[in-house]
Amino acid sequence: MDICKGSAGALAVSLVAGTVQAVPIFESDEATLYMEGYFTVHQVNTGGDTAMQDGASRLRFGLDVPVYGDWDVGFNLEWGVAAISSTGDLIISGNQQVEVGERGESLYLRQGHLFANHDCWGEFAAGKQWSVYYDVAQITDWYNVGGGLASGAFTLGSDGGLTGTGRADSALTWRRSWDGYGGEIQLGLQYAAHVSTFDVDLEDFVAPDTLLVCPDDDCEFGLHHGISFTYDADVGDGLFVGAAYTRTKLDLSTGRGELFDISDPEDPILITDRFMLRESTNAFAASLGFAYGKGPFEKGFYGAVVGQNSHNNEVVPPGLTDEILIDAFDAKGSESFFSYTWGARDCYSIYGGHNRLKSDDPEFEEQLVDEDEFLLEIIYVGFSYQWNERVRIYWENAFDNSNDIALPAVGDFIAVGMRVDI
């Protein structure tokens, strides 16, 4: 058996390329520099108000350099673009999420990584990139306006960078695919030694009227691992089966904690700067996905479903609980996306599906004031017209059945928009 028979795993950026085609900027025998991305904007009516909003527009530059021994080395840099308004639109799509601290920026980093590919040894990548978890979650993340809110990919109110489930931060990944068993099998592995410091300010954690502050260098989103396994079977128009798992350690360990007396909030008094804190927990997510068809918005039927189970992977809405240590909860979620495409140029598509995310954490639910659970539940229906290879016009409607705790995240909406690919 030839251990090198097969191919390198597809570049992570190609997972969500859709109909986007890279445009070469410079080509030579030594290197190719190219540009890719799209601009999309919608007119959205939600809650009785109508406004023009940015979609998940992005711009990517990549460099491919063929090197000795059939290796292909290069980099990818991708920015999200908020061209219509940088004041912070309502987040109705998980793919719109940005890194912590970058909300409201007109230009924000989505990806930045180096890669090295080889037909035998696979694809290696280092930096901010699509996670191996997204190898599965991406099959339902195809709505023009909404979606991506329940797969566990875009977590903690961000792009999933901290937990390594979406656009993973500081990650090392390896992907390798093999032909066999009537299709293609791909294995993905992911690792990060340190992702980010963890901002810990705990009121009343030690005693009433006290504030404990953990030094940035001591409390962190630390060691991270991830794995994915996918199988594309040559059955009919194509059958996809995939599973993924990620785990990140949240380490709160210090002997330099600062403990303050905040009886007078205007004049906190330092009690000690040597407080011992030894707390740690983990955030993890596991997903399973199935898809059938040539692809979303491609000729004929496409259907995909994803289910996930997670721990400390979803952020607690502010002010709804008395939780003071880790503002996150356990959850179960599911997403679906279905499309049917027809026409002489395969230009007409109807599509729909759902996002559903429910808390699965008794301790969290006991602390809720207005409801007995967190429930986000949205149904999507839409129509898309592919005007030509690079221009799409669409209409999308969302029916939100979320409860009062989750409702502020989305709400019903009707949107019409246009997307232009580079």
Spatial contact of 204 and 191, defined as CB atoms under 8 Å apart: no
pLDDT number for residue 7? 47
**What's the angle, vertex CA 176, arms to CA 223 and CA 68, rounded to 5?**
105
- Tell me which of 256 and 243 has the higher pLDDT: 243
Spatial contact of 124 and 278, defined as CB atoms under 8 Å apart: no
The answer, yes or no, to whether residue 10 has pLDDT greater than 70, is no
Count the domains in the chain.
Answer: 1
pLDDT number for residue 16? 43
Amino acid at 328: A
Question: Rounded CA gap, 381 and 338, in Å?
Answer: 10
Spatial contact of 249 and 224, defined as CB atoms under 8 Å apart: yes
Q: Which contiguous run of DSSP H or E holds residue 269? A: strand 269-292
pLDDT number for residue 15? 43
pLDDT number for residue 343? 92
96-154 tens-digit pLDDT = 776 655 666 778 899 999 999 998 999 999 999 999 999 999 999 999 999 999 999 99
The arithmetic mean of pLDDT across residues 168-195, rounded, is 93
Which range, 181-190, 273-282, 371-380, has the best average confidence (pLDDT)? 181-190
Place of tokens 């906190």: 268
Closest to 380 measured CA to CA, from 61, 160, 143, 34: 143
Amino acid at 319: G
Closest to 327 measured CA to CA, from 275, 377, 363: 363
pLDDT number for residue 61? 95
Instruction: Look up the CATH number of the domain holding residue 372.
Output: 2.40.160.10
201-251 tens-digit pLDDT = 777 777 888 888 887 777 777 789 999 999 999 999 999 999 999 999 877
The answer, yes or no, to whether residue 12 has pLDDT greater than 50, is no
336 part of a folded domain? yes
135 part of a folded domain? yes
pLDDT band at 18, cuts 50/70/90?
A: very low
pLDDT number for residue 141? 96
pLDDT number for residue 408? 58
3 part of a folded domain? no
27 part of a folded domain? no
3-state secondary structure of 140: helix
Distances (CA, A) of 23 to 30, 55, 386, 390: 17, 21, 19, 12
Show contacts of 372-377: CB within 8 Å, 24+ apart: 373/403, 373/405, 374/314, 374/317, 374/329, 374/331, 374/403, 374/405, 374/406, 375/402, 375/403, 375/405, 375/406, 376/149, 376/150, 376/402, 376/406, 376/409, 376/410, 377/401, 377/402, 377/406
178 part of a folded domain? yes
128 part of a folded domain? yes
- Tell me which of 261 and 232 has the higher pLDDT: 232
Which range, 152-156, 191-195, 356-360, 372-376, has the best average confidence (pLDDT)? 356-360
Question: Rounded CA gap, 350 and 345, in Å?
Answer: 15
- Tell me which of 389 and 288 has the higher pLDDT: 288
The pTM for the full model equals: 0.88
76 part of a folded domain? no
pLDDT number for residue 103? 61
The answer, yes or no, to whether residue 334 has pLDDT greater than 90, is yes
41 part of a folded domain? no
| Residue-number span of the structural domain to which 188 is assigned | 119-412
Q: Which two tokens stand for residue 302?
A: 């496409």
pLDDT number for residue 39? 94
Q: Residue 318: phi, psi to the nearest 5?
A: -55, 140
Q: Which contiguous run of DSSP H or E holds residue 23? A: strand 23-27
Provide the terminal-to-terminal Cα distance of the chain, rounded to the nearest Å. 42
156: left (phi over 0), alpha (psi -120 to 50) or beta: left
pLDDT band at 14, cuts 50/70/90?
A: very low
Closest to 85 measured CA to CA, from 41, 124, 126: 41
Question: Rounded CA gap, 108 and 160, in Å?
Answer: 15
Question: Rounded CA gap, 182 and 247, in Å?
Answer: 31
Q: Which two tokens stand for residue 172?
A: 């090392």
Question: Rounded CA gap, 237 and 354, in Å?
Answer: 23
Task: Output b/e per residue, 177-197; b: 16+ Cβ within 10 A.
Answer: bbeeeebbbbbbebebeebbe
